[in-house]
Structure 1
Amino acid sequence: MPVVKRTAEEEPAGPAKKGVFEPSPPTLIHFTHLDPFASSSSASVSASASGSASSSKKIAVTFYDLDGTLIKPRLGGQFPKSRDDWMWWQPSVPERLKAEHEEGRHLIVISNQGDQREKIRQEWRAKLSLIAAKIPKDVPIRILAALSKTDLYRKPGIGMYEVVEKLYKDRGVEIDLENSVFVGDAAGRAAKGSVGKDHGDTDYKFALNVGLRFVTPEEHFLKHPRPKFPEPPIGFLPKKLGNLASLPHIIPSHTPITRPTLEIVLFVGPPASGKSSFFRKHFAPAGYEHINQDLLGTRDRCLRVAEGFLAEGKKVVIDNTNRNKETRAHWIRLAMRLKVPIRLFHFLCPIELAKHNNVYRACYGPSDEPVRTLLPMLAFNSYAGAFEKPSIDEGFDEIRGVNFHFEGSDEQRKKWDTYMLEPKR
């Protein structure tokens, strides 16, 4: 996650200019209008199940999406043309915000903003103070917006929620998830009559990831019955593959993973299937050298470097996808020419899980592991299209399977087991 932050900045003074831009990472906008903690109506404390007050303050929050939920283009286009091209989604929106504030609820907007054009971003930033100026008097609001399409802040990722959660915890306050709600228009609804389909289902998935009740704007503001949309949403979760942890990690598992004698070990598996982590855990401590084409640039250079290590009496692991017989044959020929054994470890990670891992490690990768960038979906699709199952007949001394087992803390696993943002395929 980027460490450089914007400094807090006031919008230029003027009759319609309100609000402050808080310090935030470059890919996140954090705007506040008034301080909800300064309001006496926000000092309520939730009762525990036993009826007594909890030891820390709990505050119920209404989380909102922005476009298509609180506001819409005033000129009728799909996208706003300027900072002034907006109006409330329904005339009842301001009064509902006022009523929720008076109930002691906090109001927080969680929005995805993906347009990379600087002029559009400047207009959008300027619009926030105009929105704040139209909110009923003394009603605070906090607006967070994800600017990047590929980091932890973008919904359905929970990065924006985590920013808010930490801010509240630092004030000795807990968000009352049980009594909070997320209101958003991206529910995954199909087209119906003259009404087009939703642009996605990221709002619904975000709510599920955080643990919030989800409702559409029509339910929240207009009291309409719940519309039809896929519940649960369409998308990948690791739990859909069953209990991965119940599978044996190594197949067969009765012999040691490493060997004391000189050898070549060839990894086969899609990107983000756990190959490099497996090397660091099992092979690096046993003195194996790491050969990776992403680091060395070309296969020929990988072959030369590997041969040099072997000439020095050092064992090597070839940590690439090695998807087909043709690619693997280069390493088999090297092993035959140098008269060293070659074994293969096949990482049996389903391609959809590998795609999921790709996003997880780019957004939430552990701090004690190398930073990983988000790979394009083409890397996974091309692997799947060219994959040929490895066979002992190719010339290997041994083939072993490696099932994917998630390794990390309970908090890391909780994030891994959520809906991830979905890059274009």
Structure 2
Amino acid sequence: MAWHIGDDVITYNLKLHNDASKVAAFDVDGTLIVGDPFAREWKPRHNANDAIERLLSGGYEIVIFSNAGGVESGKITAKYVIDKMTEVIHHYKLEKRCSALFATTKSMFRKPLTGMWRLGCEHVGKTDSFFVGDAGGRRRDFSCADRDFAYNVGIRYFTPEEFFDNAAISVVECKHIDPEDYYPATSEEAADICAFHSRTHEATSKEIVLMVGFQASGKSTFVRRAFPNYTVVSRDRDKSTLSKDMTKTKKSIANGVNVVVDNTNLDLKTRETYYELGLKLGVNVRVFYMDVPFDLCMKFLRYFRMETNTGPYIPDVAMYTARKRFVIPSIDEGCSSIEIVGFLPPVNMREFDMHFPYGKF
């Protein structure tokens, strides 16, 4: 059997169906088989054998897409995946009649990202193709990754119950993000935003600038353009703490160099610490708030962290926790002024989105 263990993906019969006219794609655990996903024993899903035979007779090619993150975490091994899937493929009599891909790392190949599809089915026709998986965003599901994977690829989606048992179609609201929805409404607005992003915003008097915004909202890019001569205080870059950031800020102001704090600064308590420091040092504290929607930041984060492999992987739970403590800055907090930084689409946004259409995470 044609198994291959790659850095990010385990594959079986890779590209066997790369130019097929239509494919029937399936997840594994909770879909083709049932039981504990980390248990060695498994059971085939009721009605699955007959359904697969009908698909093959109807001209469909069978492809399996599954996340196997347990390999990276050490819960299972690549050998475990191959041994188990060899049994599953044999049970469904799919030797040499299917291809399979298993994403083993948090990378562009992990569903709902489209890396596995592009690797194994890049030229497959999508009109009649579909994907069946149990992560459909329903109340009992652990995620919406399978439904979102199908959406991102551009094919139909079914839950296992809908496909194998003819259950009623479940109505699930999964929000999908299109960056173009956030483009400036008019050319004049776009020109104003571009001009704001392009010029420097440095002051002639002593000051501390506080950036406020989620990860991947564009803070660091804006800081490089707007404050080229300021000392940059960045917890991510310096691997520092709030206490160390404060010390660095005080030293810089004492040396006559203004400071820009390039952290998220999402909660009021953190910002108040800098307001109090500004009062002690006798300097203004200006706030620059990155007005970029949370879901759009999530989309960019996955691109920069997974597609380009830059920076640490930031789990979804960390972003959602950050959102819970976020308080929109107001002038009543104690800052001298607040500047709203509008969303500036990357120059190659359309190319970016076609190359890496994430959808929801």
Same fold (TM over 0.5): yes
What displacement does 1:138 show? 6.7
What displacement does 1:64 show? 1.9
Q: Is the 8 A contact 2:24 2:55 kept in 1?
A: no
Aligned to 2:222: 278
Indicate the structure whose relative CO is greater, using CA pairs within 8 Å and at least 6 residues apart. 2
What displacement does 1:60 show? 2.8
Say if 1:221 and 1:355 are closer, same or farther in 2 by CA, change over 3 A: closer
Say if 1:385 and 1:325 are closer, same or farther in 2 by CA, change over 3 A: closer
1:237 aligns with 2:176: yes
1:184 aligns with 2:133: yes
- The residue type equivalent to 2:353 in the other structure is R
Q: Is the 8 A contact 1:406 1:413 kept in 2?
A: no
What displacement does 1:336 show? 4.7
1:418 aligns with 2:355: no
Structure 2 runs not aligned, ≥5 long = none
What displacement does 1:141 show? 1.4
Say if 1:417 and 1:139 are closer, same or farther in 2 by CA, change over 3 A: closer
Q: How does 1:22-41 map to 2 (within 5 A)?
A: 22-25=4-7, 27-32=8-13, 36=16
Aligned to 1:11: none
**What is the alpha-carbon root mean square deviation over aligned residues?**
3.8
Aligned to 1:153: 109
Q: How does 1:259-408 map to 2 (within 5 A)?
A: 259=202, 261=204, 263-283=207-227, 286-294=228-236, 295-364=238-307, 366=308, 370-375=310-315, 377-378=317-318, 380-382=320-322, 384-385=324-325, 387=327, 389-391=329-331, 394-396=334-336, 398-407=337-346, 408=348
What displacement does 1:360 show? 4.2
Aligned to 1:64: 26
Q: Is the 8 A contact 1:98 1:136 kept in 2?
A: no
Say if 1:199 and 1:336 are closer, same or farther in 2 by CA, change over 3 A: closer
Mean Cα displacement is larger for which, 330-339 or 267-276? 330-339
Q: Is the 8 A contact 1:268 1:344 kept in 2?
A: yes
Give the TM-score normalised by the residue count of structure 1: 0.68
Distance 1:340 1:81 in 2: 61
- The residue type equivalent to 2:53 in the other structure is E
Q: Is the 8 A contact 1:351 1:384 kept in 2?
A: no
Aligned to 1:258: 201
- The residue type equivalent to 1:315 in the other structure is N
What displacement does 1:345 show? 0.5
Q: Secondary structure at the match of 1:214?
A: strand
What displacement does 1:375 show? 4.2
Q: Is the 8 A contact 2:179 2:296 kept in 1?
A: no
What displacement does 1:161 show? 1.2
Query: How many residue pairs are counted as aligned between the two chains?
Result: 351
Say if 1:282 and 1:60 are closer, same or farther in 2 by CA, change over 3 A: farther
Say if 1:273 and 1:254 are closer, same or farther in 2 by CA, change over 3 A: closer
- 1:101-124 C-alpha deviation (Å, 9 max, x unpaired): xx3x43211112344554576443
- The residue type equivalent to 1:181 in the other structure is F
Q: Is the 8 A contact 1:186 1:202 kept in 2?
A: yes
Q: Is the 8 A contact 2:249 2:259 kept in 1?
A: yes
Q: Secondary structure at the match of 1:95?
A: helix
Mean Cα displacement is larger for which, 325-334 or 265-274? 325-334
Aligned to 1:46: none
Q: How does 1:3-14 map to 2 (within 5 A)?
A: none
Say if 1:325 and 1:355 are closer, same or farther in 2 by CA, change over 3 A: same
Q: Is the 8 A contact 1:113 1:145 kept in 2?
A: yes
Aligned to 2:64: 109
What displacement does 1:341 show? 4.2
Say if 1:163 and 1:227 are closer, same or farther in 2 by CA, change over 3 A: same
Deviation beyond 6 Å, 4+ runs, structure 1: none
Distance 1:403 1:122 in 2: 49
Q: Secondary structure at the match of 1:130?
A: helix
Specify which of 15, 19, 44 is matched with residue 87 of structure 1: 44
Distance 1:202 1:79 in 2: 16
Distance 1:178 1:213 in 2: 8
Give the TM-score normalised by the residue count of structure 2: 0.78
Distance 1:92 1:21 in 2: 26
